[in-house]
Amino acid sequence: MSDRARLLLELADDELILGWRNSEWTGIAPFLEEDVAFSSIAQNEIGHARALYELAARELGTDADALAFDRTLEEYRSAPLVELRRLEWARTIARHWLYETADAVRLEALKASDDPEIAGLAAKMDREETYHRIHAEMWLDRLLAAPEGRTRLEEGLRELWPYALGVLDDELRPVFVERVRARLPFELPDVEPVPRGRHEAELEELLGEMTMVRRSAPAGARW
């Protein structure tokens, strides 16, 4: 597999798996606005995943659905950060903000890519991601504004920090670390990143649920 296809799959897998995790708030978020927000963010992320899989599929001679649903657990390239299942609000906001901050660094680099298809798609995604970042920043400020929110957010950020460090490669990670440190009123430790390529146990469960309908349909079924 080319570096280009691998990069596209990393991005697509991150967006698909995080989109799935975000959609787990549909119907049960703490209040209606956030139910709508996380459902909408999930829809955007899965839309991005589809476009990225389509670009990869053209190169790999397959289609987006096959890439999204028919690979084995080991073939997924998602970052462990997006695989974790944390249906707890402060951790959800911690991951949301860490991911969007890292993703912004990644999109800025991709927009400057020599590959016009990747640069164009990154710019298109970035238009939508702007709203995710506004939402994540708004929630970060909201939680930081009250003692309990701050305590819980800090706990969440400390737990997820090694995972967040694994989203970007060695070249882009320092930019991300600098932005996180400049924004937070407390320190996060120097730790080793949890690298991409190994998977959290929760991913297996997620894939089982996500591919259930497709696996149960007879071969050649059309949707």
Partner 1 sequence: MVTAAAVWEALAEIPDPEIPVISLVDLGVVKDVAVDGARVRIEFTPTFMGCPALERMQACMEDAVRDLGGEAQVDVVLDDSWSTDKITPAGREKLREAGFAPPAPRNAGRTTLVQLQAKAFRCPYCGSTETRLDNIFGPTPCRSVRYCESCRQPFEQFKTI
Tell me which residues touch partner 1 (CB under 8 A).
Answer: 33, 36-37, 39-41, 43-48, 50-51, 54-55, 116-117, 120-121, 123-125, 127-128, 130-131, 134-135, 137-138
DSSP 218: P
The least distance separating partner 1 from the CB of residue 32, rounded to whole angstroms, comes to 9
The least distance separating partner 1 from the CB of residue 26, rounded to whole angstroms, comes to 12
**Closer residue to partner 1 (CB): 87 or 123:** 123
**Closer residue to partner 1 (CB): 116 or 218:** 116
The least distance separating partner 1 from the CB of residue 84, rounded to whole angstroms, comes to 22
Residue type, 45: E
**Closer residue to partner 1 (CB): 40 or 62:** 40
Q: Are 102 and 168 in contact (CB under 8 A)?
A: yes
**Closer residue to partner 1 (CB): 65 or 202:** 65
**Closer residue to partner 1 (CB): 119 or 184:** 119
Listed residue (177, 86, 87, 92) closest to 142, CA to CA: 92
* Sign of torsion over alpha carbons 56, 62, 68, 74: negative
Instruction: Give the Cα separation of 132 and 204 in Å (integer).
Output: 27
Residue with tokens 């987006």: 64
Instruction: Give the Cα separation of 128 and 117 in Å (integer).
Output: 17
The least distance separating partner 1 from the CB of residue 142, rounded to whole angstroms, comes to 11
The least distance separating partner 1 from the CB of residue 195, rounded to whole angstroms, comes to 28
**Closer residue to partner 1 (CB): 134 or 217:** 134
Separation of CA 131 from chain center: 15
Residue 116 class from Cβ within 10 Å (0-12 exposed, 13-18 middle, 19+ buried)?
exposed
The least distance separating partner 1 from the CB of residue 20, rounded to whole angstroms, comes to 13
From the DSSP assignment, how many helices (H) and strands (E) are in the chain?
A: 10, 0
